[in-house]
Structures are given as structure tokens and as C-alpha cells.
Structure 1
Amino acid sequence: MSAQQVKGAGKVKQPNIIFILTDDLGFGDIGTFFQNQRKKANEPGKPFTSTPNIDRLAAMGARLPQHYCAAPVCAPARASLLLGLHQGHANVRDNQFDKALEDNYTIASVLRSVGYKTAVFGKWGLQGLNSEGPEWPAHPLNRGFDYFMGMIRHADGHEHYPKEGIYRGAKQVWENKTNIADKLDKCYTADLWTASAKKWITENKRDKKKDQPFFIYLAYETPHAVLELPTQAYPGGGGMKGGVQWLGEAGHMINTASGEVDSYIHPEYANATYDHDNNPATPQIAWPEVYKRYATAVRRIDSEVGDLLQLLKDLKIDDNTMVVFSSDNGPSIESYLKENFAANFFQSFGPFDGIKRDVWEGGVRVPTIAAWPGHIPANTVIKTPSGVHDWLPTFLDAAGSPPPVRTDGVSLMPSLTGKGKQRSSTIYIEYFQNQSTPDFKEFDPHHRNRKRNQMQMIRFGDTVGVRYDIKSHNDNFEIYNVIKDPQETNNLANNKGMNLLQSKMKERVLQVRRPDTSAPRPYDNELIPPALVVSTKQGFYWQRYRASSPWIPDVSTLSSIAKGIVQEPEVGLAGVGDIVVYAGFIQVPADGEFTFYLTANSAAFLKIHDSNVIDEDYGYNGGEERAASMKLKAGLHPFKLYCRIKNSSKQLLDFSWQGSGITKQTVWSNMRYN
């Protein structure tokens, strides 16, 4: 199905899409976000690095300095990207490395459904715990990708020379379902993924019989983990004839698979010195080798970005390719080498406090750039907050389709293009880790050595609420204005007039999430508060939409073709392919736990507040009763029940509940509207 078939989108020329995700690259590591300011200040005690190609990408399009990852560590952050869900809904949370990514819509599968060819290069780590392979349940080929070249297992991404395994032992590299690691002599992985992606793009565009738009997820596992060095300088030129190239010869798979492994330091850093004691009277000393390595790894990614941009230009597809660059979380303090590594040497966390595994801004604010010539104006700065789960609906919007209703994201196209009204993103993070924020002198004393444990973050406009070491839901949020106070030094929680915002944050974090028994939280058993609705009447709203997407769509950007108020559902009013949405309030008579039951012979989806409660869309064949429980306070709770009509037979939509003195019965009689 092409995007042109999706109602409400209009005819579009679908762009190619490349999403580049780096690993543990801090907000402050990129020139245009922070390092250029550091360079300009020219303080001898503050070393700096350069990223000229990434800066050029930013100048071509938009910087998103208010962009957040989904979690401050890789597996859940990447799962949320791929699923289009924040951490209140994603099935991979906390430190669940190698857990199988949920079998549902992914950023690749939805794009493939609207005509895209899809490929992933690099780090996966979401395959399921069958360590033998290759039939992992959540192999990329089982989650919407047509082609895979990379490392399936999480720990394999800690070594950047997979065959030699010079620091962490030999690792596996898979092309689709074949382990090719034994052919990868001297292959530095960042070069390997780039060369492979270049080959795939070139072949895709040369195949005129299958001239499809493409989506590439280029998931570097650098600069994190073992800070290994390339074999040699990055080949000049870039693009079709220069840069790294795929040779395809066992033992010499890419053109940089020669020379000495772990040997090349970028010349800008090889002899770099700094004022280590901030005393101009003493001689400067050389950068410690671990920081030369880190700077070289970051610069290597920069070279690879430039190489890819040149390829797009050579193939004459640069004007119709959207390139997004980001990181999975904040900077790390891990080198996996004997020499310690500290994220404050280059101040990789930028103007914020916190690193990887923190929900302070430095752990979750990530350097993000989006470029699409002719669509995203050059040198744009997006000032509104956004999250990684927004990319799934953004890419579908660019392709001409509404996203699945289950997504937590919103399209960023209005902000990126300057056309249309931007909907607000939901910025919500929950995470557990039993260590502490580092004791960096750059951090506010209140943050240093702060015990993490259960953490939570939510953002409203310019204001962020943060909780560390949560013991119960009664714990107050620390509240910061992160525009005026990006380092989060001035806690506003005790200021006059903040009680209402504190209450709103505590209510909202219960209304946007679903508990997950594999990642228990101290607030899982809290009763979800009702909406503040004063006057209501018996019944509920219905609206009908026309959309040909293969999923139940988020209808917020569609126009209804009919609407009304009813006492009972009237599914029969809709035609085949139509979407009917019932909305209003469920009147909960008493505090307690309630189980909701839903049966349909079409696709259906239930939201209560902004929680995804029952999914009968993906993989649902009709007729099966599905159930879910929620702990609710007495009062009026907003709901939306979506139904997609698949056939012309008489429609079944049985929606029941029980709990707190209610025997199993229909919910419809307890519906209200205002």
C-alpha cells in the first residue's frame, strides 16, 4: 500500500529516510550544540573536539536542542524509538538488554506497509534471550526490516573489532541470519556499518524495477564501550568513489580493513595538550590517551556522516532524503580499558548535570538534528520539547500516513517545516538503576553522588519534574524551569503556587503509563485519579473517519465524516474500512481495581486517560476476548474506544467490566459526556 492511498494525507513524494543513532554520545559532544562554544572560549584547561560534518548537517536543516531520549540507557531507549512508545508503555524497560522487542508495529514495519524498503545496520540488542541464534524471536527481519547487517546481541556491541576481539573477545556479526564475523579481519565496526549502508543505498537506487523509497536505521555502537581506534585515516572524498567502501572480499571486506588495528588517532588530537592544573605558570600536558581515543571515535562518526551526505549527493537523492542524527542517551563514564574515563573532560553533558543512567537533563537530553532540503528550512532551531518516540509518527507523516493509535508520539513535521500546528509531545521517563550520579565538580552539589534507584521525569512546557530514589508515590517531584535553569540548580517545588503543579505531575505520571511486572515501580499500585469534570450527561460521543491505513490510526489529524451522541454503540453506521471512535467518561462508582473486557470482530483499541489498555489491532483476528485491569479512584475517567471496520458483516463490540462491587456487565451504561 502506498502513502498516496492513505486518506487525509494527499499525494506526496515519499522521502528516503536515514536515522543515524549513536551510542552514549552526549549533548555536549557535538560542535554546534556545545563544543564550538568551548572552542570559542579558548580556555586552556577545557579541551574541545570538533564535528564539522555534523555541524554542516545541522546548518542544512534543524537542530532540536530540546529533544529527549526515552530512557538513559540503550536497550529501553532503542525499544522506544522502534515502537514509537515512551517508557510508560514500551515492553523493554530498565536494564533489560537482549529482551525481545514486542511483536507489534515498529518504525520499520509501518514504513514498509506504506511502500518503503527497510534496512538496519549496527547494534540491535532486542532479539530475545535465545543466545544461540539465528532464530531469535525478535530478529530485525521479524520486526519489519528487509535487511540486517550488524550485531544482534547487546554485549557484542562492546567490541569494535569483532573478529580480533582485541579487548573483549571475538564477537558475532550477522548479515540477515548468517554470522559473517570470520570474514571481518581488521574491520572497525563504524566503518563496516557505513560501508555496508552505502552499498545497500546504492544498489537500492540503481534497481529501477524496485525504485522504492528507503528507510535506514544506522545504529552505531560507538563511541561507547571499548574506545578502540580505527586502522587508518578516513579515506578521502566520500560518496560513491571515496570514503569507506564495501569490497566484499573475505579478509578484506572494506577498504579500511588493512594496516594496524586500534592504532589511528586523529591528527587534531594526537599531540593535543591542556592546562591540567589551571595554572598558566606550569607546562601543559598531553591529553590522556583515553580522551584521544574518545575524540577520535566521535570524529570518525563525523567523517561517516559526511561520507553518507556525499553519497546522497552523488546519487542525486539528497533533495528527497530526510537525515536524522541523534544519540540513545547521555554520555558514559565507561571506557572498558585500564585507563579511567570521565565525561567531564570534554564536558560531554553540555550545560546540564547528569550522564548516562541519570534522568537529570544531561542523561536524557540528546543532540538531535533533522535535515530535508526544500522541506526543513536551513539553520532552524526547534524550541519545543520532543522525544524519540515522536519519530515514528513524524516519518509516517512525511510519507503521507497517520500513525497507529497506540503510538505515544506526535508528528514533528509542523515544527520542522514551519507548516501547520505542532501538537505537544509527551515527555515521560521512568527508570531504575542502583548506582549514583557522579561527583563531578561541574555538577550542582545537590546532584553529586545522588542515589538513583527508582527515578522518574516528566516535562510540562518549560518545566521538568524529577524524582530520585522514589520510595512511594507520595514523594514530591523536584521542579525546575529547564529553559532558565538548564542545570537544574533552583528547585521550585517549595515556591508559592507550586502545589497545583506538584499535584498535576503526580496525577499525570499515573495516567500516561501501564505497570510492567518485569520492571516494578513503587507507584504501580496507586489508584489513578479521575478527571476534573463538573457537569456531565448520560451517553458518549462517537465520530467516524475514513482511512485506509492497515492499522487503527491516530485520528487527531483526520477530519471526521460523521459524528453524534449515543447511549449505545452504533458500529453499523460505518462502512468497511471506516474508523469509529467512541469517547467520553467512564463513571467509576468507588475506589478499587477494575477489569475491562473487550471483544470485537473487527480491530479495536481502548485508551483510558492516555494509557494503552487493550490492544485488538495488531495481530487481532476478531472474536477473542481480551482483558486488562486498572486501579482507579472513584470519579470520571476519560476513555476512547477505537473500532476499525474490516468487513460488511454485523459488527460485534462487547465492552464489559467488573470490580469493586460490580459483577461483570456492560460498561456502556456507565458512560458520560460533557
Structure 2
Amino acid sequence: MKKIIIAAFFSVFTLITYAQQAPNIIYILVDDMGYGDLGVLFQNQRKLSGNRSLPYQVSPHLDEMAAQGAILTQQYANAPVCAPSRASLLTGVNQGNAQVRDNQFDKALENNHTLATVMKQAGYRTAAIGKWGLQGDDEKQSPNWPAHPLKRGFDHYFGYMRHADGHEHYPVEGIYRGKKEIWENYKEVSKDFARCYTTDLWTAKAKDWIIKAEEQDRARPFFMYLAYDAPHAVLELPTQAYPPGGGIDGGLKWMGTAGNMINTASGTVDNYIHPDYVHATYDDDQNAATPEVPWPDTYKRYATAVRRIDDAVGDLLKLLKDLKIDNNTLVVFSSDNGPSMESYLPKEYAANLPTFFDSYGPFDGIKRDCWEGGMRMPVIVQWKKHIPGGKIVATPSMLSDWLPTFADAAKLPIPARADGVSLLPTLLGKGNQQESMVYTEYFEGGNTPKFNSFELGRQGRKRGQMQMIRFGNLVGVRYNIKSADDNFEIYDVVKDPKESVDLAKLAHYINTQQQMKDRVLQLRTPDKEARRPYDTTAIPALRLEKCLRRVLNGAFIKVIFPG
């Protein structure tokens, strides 16, 4: 018994020691924001071009975050839509092994390692705020859903439980999509949140939780998953200007009084357009001799939604500075998939086409596409005193790499279940970076949009069963797959980001073609609820080497087999 007590003591002591050395971590995930929506990644280029036929947005706070941290220019979503992308992020597995595949929204997140359970093992306090959508779709089990965030490692939850609730940003008023429920842990609390625009609401709650966590125990780190439901439709507007200042004394505040829960819960709902966009005009006919025309209201709304998120990020970063924890807080900003075409606005509004801002950036494809525009994410990472400012990370990676990365930062072994790898060696410039395997599979019944800026051969292209895999600079893409023998289109996405030159037509890439066909079979397991035409195909042997990942103090062991 004495030995057991001593062992337990040292186990707890080690956990506390790790916790004291480990960074706080905030993962900010936005909904349907394209790679091209951020100033630093694409919009600033449109502004500097001086071409008045190219309307642009600005994102000053995210640009500043990038200047003080790193931009991951080649990080991919695990899927081109919300639910599977978030499921892979939270569990650290690719879409070939995930329990949530395709657009299975509200399906229960598997009962396994998650970002939150891993961080709790390292002594972290954990909170999820905002959109969840992975609780399990049996409403008879409400509020005790099988995959409630509190059952997947989080100590506290506040937000929209159901996926579709995130399509309305005024839960009490339900202006365009009906009234929605807000959940705090297991209690439904929406009645108190009149005039609360959800971007503001999640931000105010996040700030309140962080402040209280620091007041309670500054020595113990925290992990926060902050999942916004914007700029995804419906394209609603805030009630008023973003409160000035930011941080502890300014910005958004949690008031806690029914009917006045946050300091922007007043005025008129769906009302405020950012001043930069109120009178914005552009050259719609590319003729300088004719007058410019106003932006359609749809795009003023979209740009305001993006700017509101930018303001929220600036507010949160100011809070970390005010609390003097900014030097040891790792903050990641990303989207879940490429830009969408939904607006859910009345018919009198213009359609919400991502072509207006080229929200997909220098790529082709949008949400639901496995082209780069649907998969390449706007990712910024800040960890002051650790990641040098202005760093550009061009190493290919996926959202599922964040679970191993956070485990590594917390000095924990990476769960064997995870498909991802730690990105710390690249971010910190220390050690050898393990190669990330970029792979996705997805089914979608529609077509790639017929946007004039897209390559002619993929305009209106039937999606169907799709796969994407990356080898170095080469990306293999298959659309409307009928069998495992279907060929990949192969593109060098570093030299050819629009994927316009199919290298698969060249004899030099015959071996690469077969390697891609083999590898996509080796990376996955069939799932009866997301059937694929290649499910029953024999899995090729690993010819040169078989990698067995065994985690011993964070080390990888590679076992080589002949043949």
C-alpha cells in the first residue's frame, strides 16, 4: 500500500509539474471562412493592386497576429464540410478512420481520445464554447446526449449543441432560421439572451471564462476550443459597433443580467454594417469611365461578419496581454473548410457568391470540393517568446495534426489512435519534423460551381465520391470515383496552385499514380455508414517499410521490414 501511495504521489507531482511548464492553449475555429478571406493571405493583394474591380476586405487584428506569429500556408481541413472536419480535428484522425464522415452532422463524436481528454490528462482545465454539432442525433436523449462535450473531456460547455442551430446568429429572435437553444453544460438557457449576436456572445463568454480561470488558479493551464458559427450563413449583422478597447477593461463584456447578458445586447438586431463597408463601391464593369456601383448588401454583410471575428480575435489577444499570460499562451486560428455559397437571406438579396472577394484565394474550389480552395485553410499561430513573428510555414499538414501538437506542447505522449503528427518541430524550429499525411475522402452529390475563374474542365464537374492525397508538392485528386482503379489527377500545387496542369498525363508520373492508389487504401478502414466504391479492394502490402508508431516519451520508433 505504501508503494502505491508513493507512486500515486509522484504521478500527481509529475502531472502538476508538466502543467506548470505547459502553455495555455486556445483553438479558434471559424465556420466557412475561405483561405482568401484574410488580408494577410490574399485580400491585401487585392487592395494593393489598385484594381477597383476587385473589392476587398481587411482583417487588421488577424494580420497583426500573423506578424507576431506564424502563417501555415499549406494546412488542410480534414474534410471540405463542417461535421467531418471538426470530428477529425477533435480526435486527431483522418477521414479514412473517423467515425464521422461525409456531412453526418449531429452524429455522436466517438468515445475516444479528444483534444479535451488529452489536455485533461496533462492537468489542464478545459472549455468548449460555441458550435458543437457532434452530440448524437437522438433528441430523445436530450439533454443527456451521448457525445455531449462534457462527456468528451470538457469541464465546461456553453453554446449551440446542434449543427443547424449555428445557421442563425440571434438565438432568441430567430430572425431568418427560427429560434435556437443555447446550452450551458446540461441546462438550456436561451431565454436570457435577447439581442445577443452569437459572435459577440461566444467571445464575451470566452473572455469571462478565461478571466475566472486565471483568478482561480494562475498556475494551472487551460485549453479552450472556441468554435464560432460565422461567417457561415445566415448572413446576419451585429446590433452595434464593436466596443472599443479590448481586453479586461474594454471590448466585449459578460454582464450576466437577463436581457442584458453581454454589453452589445441592446439596440436593433441585424442592423450594424462596419463603417469600412457602408459606402463601399467597386468597378462592376471594368470600365473606369463609368461610375462605380455600391457593393450589394449581401457582401457588406459577409465582410462585416468576417470583420467582427477579426475584432473578436484582437479582443481576446488583448485580454491575454492584460492578464500577462500572452507569452505562454498558444493561440491557433483556423477555418473548418472552404467558403460557401449559402446566405439564407430573403430573395431580394443578391446571391452569396465567393467570387465577389475570391474567398477561395488563388485556388479553385469551395466548400464541398476537394480542390485546394475547398481544403486549404487560413491558419495563423501565435505563441510569443516561442514562435518567431512573421514566420511562414509551408510544410503540408492537416487540422488533425493539432491534437498531437498540443499533446507534445503539454509534454504528453501522443495517443496511438492519432493519425496526425506534432508540428512543434516546425513551429519552434527545433528537432526533426515528422511528415504529416494529408488525405481526405468525401461524398457529395452536387457539382463544382461554374465560376469563370475556375479551370474550364472543372466548372460544373460532378463531385460524387472524392479523394485527395498529397505527396510532397504533389496532390492527387479523384472525383466521381467508380472504382479503386480510377486514376488520380496529379498537380504540383506549389508551382500550380490552381491545379491547371495535370501531370498524370506524363509518363514520368506512372509510378506516382500507382503509389497514390496504393496509399489511399492503406490509410483507411471502411465505414458502413459512409460506403465507398473501393471499400472491398484488397489493401496492398507496404513494400519498403512498415512504420509502427509507439510513443515512448514522445519518440517515434520505426521498424523496417525487408521486401
1:234/1:300 contact within 8 Å kept? yes
Which residue of structure 2 aligns with residue 626 of structure 1? none
Say if 1:107 and 1:265 are closer, same or farther in 2 by CA, change over 3 A.
same
Matched, 1:398 2:409: yes
Shift of 1:10: 8.4
1:204/1:211 contact within 8 Å kept? no
Distance 2:224 2:446 in 1: 35
Q: Secondary structure at the match of 1:195?
A: helix
What TM-score, normalized to structure 2? 0.95
Which residue of structure 2 aligns with residue 554 of structure 1? 551
Distance 1:12 1:115 in 2: 9
Which residue of structure 2 aligns with residue 575 of structure 1? none
Which residue of structure 1 aligns with residue 61 of structure 2? 53
2:106/2:162 contact within 8 Å kept? yes
Matched, 1:341 2:352: yes
**Could you report, residue by residue, the CA deviation over 1:30-72 in whole angstroms, capped at 9, with x for unpaired residues?**
0110001111002111100000000111111100000000000
Say if 1:553 and 1:143 are closer, same or farther in 2 by CA, change over 3 A.
farther
Shift of 1:283: 1.0
Distance 2:143 2:471 in 1: 44
Please, which of 385, 388, 392 is the counterpart of residue 381 of structure 1? 392
Shift of 1:532: 2.4
Distance 2:372 2:12 in 1: 37
Shift of 1:531: 2.6
Which residue of structure 1 aligns with residue 491 of structure 2? 480
1:12/1:399 contact within 8 Å kept? no
> Looking at CA atoms only, which structure, 1 or 2, has the larger radius of gyration?
1
Q: Which one-letter code corresponds to 1:103 in the other structure?
A: N
Which residue of structure 1 aligns with residue 536 of structure 2? 525
Please, which of 501, 508, 516 is the counterpart of residue 497 of structure 1? 508
Matched, 1:180 2:162: no
Distance 1:102 1:20 in 2: 22
**Could you report, residue by residue, the CA deviation over 1:589-628 in whole angstroms, capped at 9, with x for unpaired residues?**
xxxxxxxxxxxxxxxxxxxxxxxxxxxxxxxxxxxxxxxx
Please, which of 148, 161, 177 is the counterpart of residue 168 of structure 1? 177
Q: Which one-letter code corresponds to 2:145 in the other structure?
A: W
Say if 1:509 and 1:474 are closer, same or farther in 2 by CA, change over 3 A.
same
Distance 1:366 1:558 in 2: 28
Say if 1:4 and 1:29 are closer, same or farther in 2 by CA, change over 3 A.
farther
Shift of 1:454: 0.4
Please, which of 272, 275, 300 is the counterpart of residue 267 of structure 1? 275
Distance 2:275 2:443 in 1: 40
Please, which of 435, 450, 472 is the counterpart of residue 439 of structure 1? 450
Q: Which one-letter code corresponds to 1:74 in the other structure?
A: C
Structure 2: unaligned runs, 5 residues or longer: 1-9
Q: Secondary structure at the match of 2:377?
A: coil
Shift of 1:553: 5.7
Distance 1:334 1:377 in 2: 38
Q: Which one-letter code corresponds to 2:59 in the other structure?
A: T
Which residue of structure 1 aligns with residue 240 of structure 2? 232
**Could you report, residue by residue, the CA deviation over 1:554-613 in whole angstroms, capped at 9, with x for unpaired residues?**
3494288xxxxxxxxxxxxxxxxxxxx9x676xxxxxxxxxxxxxxxxxxxxxxxxxxxx
Give the stretch that moved more between structures: 78-87 or 125-134: 125-134
Say if 1:556 and 1:204 are closer, same or farther in 2 by CA, change over 3 A.
closer
Matched, 1:416 2:427: yes
Give the stretch that moved more between structures: 395-404 or 505-514: 395-404
Q: Which one-letter code corresponds to 1:266 in the other structure?
A: H
Q: Secondary structure at the match of 2:467?
A: strand
Distance 1:10 1:129 in 2: 37
Distance 1:415 1:162 in 2: 41
Distance 2:19 2:246 in 1: 34
Runs of 4+ more than 2 Å apart: 1-6, 9-12, 531-534, 552-560
Distance 2:178 2:463 in 1: 32
Which residue of structure 1 aligns with residue 210 of structure 2? 201
Shift of 1:282: 1.4
Distance 2:513 2:310 in 1: 42
Matched, 1:81 2:89: yes
Please, which of 475, 479, 485 is the counterpart of residue 468 of structure 1? 479
Q: Which one-letter code corresponds to 1:63 in the other structure?
A: I
Distance 2:538 2:138 in 1: 37
Distance 2:14 2:523 in 1: 32
1:628-639 pair list within 5 angstroms:
none
Which residue of structure 1 aligns with residue 153 of structure 2? 144
Which residue of structure 2 aligns with residue 157 of structure 1? 166
Distance 2:19 2:138 in 1: 44
**Could you report, residue by residue, the CA deviation over 1:228-251 in whole angstroms, capped at 9, with x for unpaired residues?**
000000000000110010001111
Distance 2:395 2:200 in 1: 34
Which residue of structure 2 aligns with residue 593 of structure 1? none
More helix by share: 2
1:2/1:113 contact within 8 Å kept? no
Matched, 1:38 2:62: no
Distance 1:147 1:10 in 2: 22
Distance 2:62 2:543 in 1: 47
Shift of 1:130: 2.0
1:187-336 pair list within 5 angstroms:
187-208=196-217, 211-336=219-344
Distance 2:560 2:435 in 1: 21
Please, which of 113, 116, 119 is the counterpart of residue 127 of structure 2? 119
Q: Which one-letter code corresponds to 1:259 in the other structure?
A: G
Shift of 1:508: 0.1
Say if 1:2 and 1:173 are closer, same or farther in 2 by CA, change over 3 A.
farther
Q: Which one-letter code corresponds to 1:118 in the other structure?
A: T
**Could you report, residue by residue, the CA deviation over 1:649-672 in whole angstroms, capped at 9, with x for unpaired residues?**
xxxxxxxxxxxxxxxxxxxxxxxx
Alpha carbon RMSD of aligned pairs, Å?
2.0
2:412/2:553 contact within 8 Å kept? no
Q: Which one-letter code corresponds to 1:109 in the other structure?
A: T
Shift of 1:383: 1.3
Shift of 1:13: 1.2
Say if 1:281 and 1:111 are closer, same or farther in 2 by CA, change over 3 A.
same
Distance 1:313 1:442 in 2: 42
Q: Which has the higher contact order (CA 8 A, sep 6+)?
A: 2
2:464/2:479 contact within 8 Å kept? yes
Distance 1:11 1:250 in 2: 36
Q: Secondary structure at the match of 1:493?
A: helix
Structure 1: unaligned runs, 5 residues or longer: 535-539, 544-551, 561-580, 586-672
**Could you report, residue by residue, the CA deviation over 1:145-204 in whole angstroms, capped at 9, with x for unpaired residues?**
000000000110000000000100100010111111111000000000000000000000
Distance 2:73 2:171 in 1: 34
Give the total of aligned pairs: 549
Give the stretch that moved more between structures: 502-511 or 199-208: 199-208
Which residue of structure 2 aligns with residue 594 of structure 1? none
What TM-score, normalized to structure 1? 0.79
Say if 1:533 and 1:154 are closer, same or farther in 2 by CA, change over 3 A.
closer
Distance 1:556 1:474 in 2: 41
Q: Secondary structure at the match of 1:323?
A: strand
Q: Which one-letter code corresponds to 2:551 in the other structure?
A: D
1:85/1:409 contact within 8 Å kept? yes
Q: Which one-letter code corresponds to 2:332 in the other structure?
A: V
**Could you report, residue by residue, the CA deviation over 1:416-470 in whole angstroms, capped at 9, with x for unpaired residues?**
0101111100100000001001111111101110100100000000000000000
Distance 2:53 2:406 in 1: 43
Which residue of structure 2 aligns with residue 62 of structure 1? 70
Shift of 1:280: 1.4
